Chains A and B, each alone.
Chain A
Amino acid sequence: MPRRITADELNSFVTSSVEVLEKLARISTQVGTLRRQQWSIPLDRLIIVIGIEGDLYGRVVFHFDPLVLERILASMLGTPTPPLTDPICLDTLGEVANIIAGNATGRMEALGLQIAITPPQVLIWKDVSQEVPEHEGIVVPLKSTWGEIGVSIFLENA
């Protein structure tokens, strides 16, 4: 039976998320209380799904409060920011998630794990239930002045 991920493995994603958001989007975040829950993100959110393969497998899903999204895009693209549905916005947000997951692979390696990531899928106002596992994941809320960025981690040991 696959074991659940450890705190150190989880922290690889949490630390990468905090650092990349600060460097790339100049958003300072603090880690809130972690919770274990099944997928239950409202459909009005923008969602980014990244696949993980290797010693750990599953999905890491990012979801954003609207004000945080605006702030990230304004910081990275300048103002006025294009509409959220503009391809450049979706591409930019996908790249943020891609870099977070990529940086996490290096931290995982330091823990003795080899993982690879798949290109991000950016989904807006869509039912993503097919993209996430049915079992519980760990939700890491990253709190900022503009709202929350949720990092939902659905990973298991291969």
Chain B
Amino acid sequence: MSGEKRILVVDDSSFLRNSLKKMLEEHGYEVVGMAENGLAALTKYKELKPDLVTLDIIMPQMNGVEVLKLLRAVDPNACVVMVSSMSSKGSVTDCIQAGAKNYILKPFEAQKVIAIIQKALS
């Protein structure tokens, strides 16, 4: 069970934001907010204090790794799971070193996403 955990979804693609929101809500999570870029993500994180953030990497202006570092500067305990189509080891390593809990590879399946979110929140 999700235990009403509150999630912020960050992705520059509205299709991906809505897909993730639907998937998470179907599994009992509350999507408290969505952001389409890094700046909006930081503002919403401070305002909403979510339990977990799903964070896209490839975004215009500020990429997800930069956003992750800023989120962790605001809240060293921020629980962030990266979501990206980039499957290179370097990309994954950069995210984990910057404090990400885990990494979801696009295109994703609901079962995998939920398993990763559950583990990150446990």
Contact surface of A with B, Cβ cutoff 8 Å: 20, 23-24, 76-77, 87-88, 91-92, 94-95, 98-103, 105-106, 108-109, 114, 117-119
Also in contact, A105 and B87, with CB within 8 A (given A23-B107, A24-B107, A98-B58):
yes
Whether the Cβ atoms of A103 and B85 lie closer than 8 Å is: yes
Whether the Cβ atoms of A114 and B88 lie closer than 8 Å is: yes
Specify which chain A residues have a CB less than 8 angstroms from the CB of B87 in the assembled complex: 102-103, 105-106, 109
Q: How many B residues face the partner with a CB closer than 8 A? A: 19
Q: Would you give 19 A-B contacts (Cβ < 8 Å), ordered by A? A: A20-B107, A87-B14, A88-B15, A91-B15, A92-B13, A92-B15, A95-B16, A99-B107, A102-B58, A103-B106, A105-B86, A105-B87, A105-B88, A105-B91, A108-B88, A109-B89, A118-B58, A119-B12, A119-B58
Whether the Cβ atoms of A119 and B60 lie closer than 8 Å is: yes
Across the interface, A98 reaches (CB within 8 A) one of B85, B89, B91, namely: B85
A103 to B84, CA, bound (A): 9
A106 to B60, CA, bound (A): 21
A103 to B87, CA, bound (A): 6
Q: What is the 8 Å Cβ interface bit string for chain B, positions 51-89, against chain A (1 contact, 0 not)?
A: 000000011100000000000000000000000111111
Whether the Cβ atoms of A102 and B90 lie closer than 8 Å is: no
Contact surface of B with A, Cβ cutoff 8 Å: 12-16, 58-60, 84-91, 105-107
Across the interface, A77 reaches (CB within 8 A) one of B15, B16, B85, B90, namely: B15
Also in contact, A91 and B13, with CB within 8 A (given A20-B107, A102-B106, A119-B58):
yes
Specify which chain A residues have a CB less than 8 angstroms from the CB of B12 in the assembled complex: 119
A49 to B86, CA, bound (A): 17
A108 to B88, CA, bound (A): 8
Query: Please, which residue of chain B has its CB at the minimum distance from the CB of A50?
Result: B58
Also in contact, A88 and B14, with CB within 8 A (given A105-B86, A119-B60):
yes
Across the interface, B14 reaches (CB within 8 A) one of A91, A99, A118, A119, namely: A91
A107 → B minimal CB distance (Å): 8
| Chain B CB within 10 Å, residue with most, of A76, A91, A117 | A91
Also in contact, A102 and B15, with CB within 8 A (given A24-B107, A119-B58, A119-B59):
no
Specify which chain A residues have a CB less than 8 angstroms from the CB of B85 in the assembled complex: 98-103, 105
A99 → B minimal CB distance (Å): 4
Also in contact, A106 and B88, with CB within 8 A (given A91-B14, A119-B58):
yes
